[in-house]
Amino acid sequence: MRRFFGPVNKNRVSLLLFADKSSSAYSLGDPLIPERTVSLFSKGQPPRNRIPFLMKNMSTSTSSWSVEKEMNEVERIELLSSIEDAHGGVTVDVKESMDSKMFSLMLKTSLFYWTQQGKRGVWIKLPIEFANLVEPAVKEGFRYHHAEPDYLMLVKWISETTDTLPENASHRVGVGAFVMNDKGEVFVRELYIIILDPFLVAFQVCWLIDMVLVVQESNGRFKGTNVWKLPTGVVNESEDICTAAVREVKEETGIDTKFIEILAFRQSHQSFFRKSDLFFVCMLRPLSFDIQKQDSEIEAAQWMRAEDYADQPFNQKNELFKNMAKICLTKSEKYYAGFSTMSLTTASGKSTYLYFNNKDFEPSA
């Protein structure tokens, strides 16, 4: 069998690679440079009826394999450009369009190369405009990991060890805003009249009634139910919980608020697109009081007595809503310590918030 010997570079490792004509399996043959080559064949000659390939181990972005076709024609096959990650894997970020057949050949070649290099997992990020490359990747054993509006991420575990690739993001985070009007509302409970000759003395007993900001939604499960509920919403990507609560109230009611603390939170599973759901009940203090509702999502919005909000039949029949309302009332009636925010900087220099109970802990100066 004739062999093809490429140019030797002492900074590269050259291997003679064989591929069965009848299958896509690859194997290494006799080393071209024994002292710098790892071979899958420790003894004997390479199997017959195989086509020789030549691989040069260069930088990942420029690596290529030369293929000898019909023993006298050589075709250069570029490896897919990739970046090594910190966990023993590689990430391919496709930035240029290519023919799906050529991509398939390059992917096969690259997978063999990465396997020989001892890589563990392979990630392929495909922009939406390169959707034609999804099928060849799936045929090579890649699976969907997650999708964003502009790209699809596929992944494959290529090591013989246990697959430890992280799963897609598992939770969605939501917020509910308990906005207490601390100005209160004057409410006359009783009127007393005392006749003291020659004067008529009258006095009345008044209370300041706590008012809560509530809305009726024009969409979703509460549409048409006449249920008054707290303003709620979903935390956006790269958005803090405290910021999301303030934003949602502003969007739905036009009320400006200040975040005070997290009163409670709950976790549920198999919720939105099979994801788990974290929901944080946040207390906010209003900075304005003139309601301007969001017409696209909100049917009505108003300030309501806290007791009337809690006493709604829906809240009383639903254990979760009943206890959430009770927690809010407890906060309005007596001291209830939730979780306040502490602005911090992480070891990597990012700004973040630590949520803590300020009843028994005093932050360091």
Angle formed at CA 49 by CA 48 and CA 55, multiple of 5 degrees: 90
Q: What is the pLDDT of residues 163-176, one digit of tens each?
A: 988 888 878 899 99
Confidence of residue 329 (pLDDT cuts 50, 70, 90): confident
Amino acid letter, 254: G
Answer yes or no: are the C-beta atoms of 220 and 229 closer than 8 Å.
no
Q: How confident is the model at residue 227 (pLDDT cuts 50, 70, 90)?
A: very high
pLDDT in tens, 278-314: 999 999 999 999 999 999 889 999 999 989 999 999 9
3-state secondary structure labels for all residues of 147-174:
EECCEEEEEEECCCCCCCCCCCCCEEEE
Instruction: Please say if the pLDDT value at position 78 is more than 80.
Output: yes
**Predicted model pTM:** 0.64
Distances (CA, A) of 44 to 22, 29, 31, 39, 138: 22, 9, 12, 11, 36
pLDDT in tens, 27-74: 443 333 333 323 333 333 333 333 334 443 333 444 554 544 444 444
Tokens 């007993």 belong to residue? 205
Sort 137 into a burial class: Cβ within 10 Å, 0-12 / 13-18 / 19+.
Answer: buried
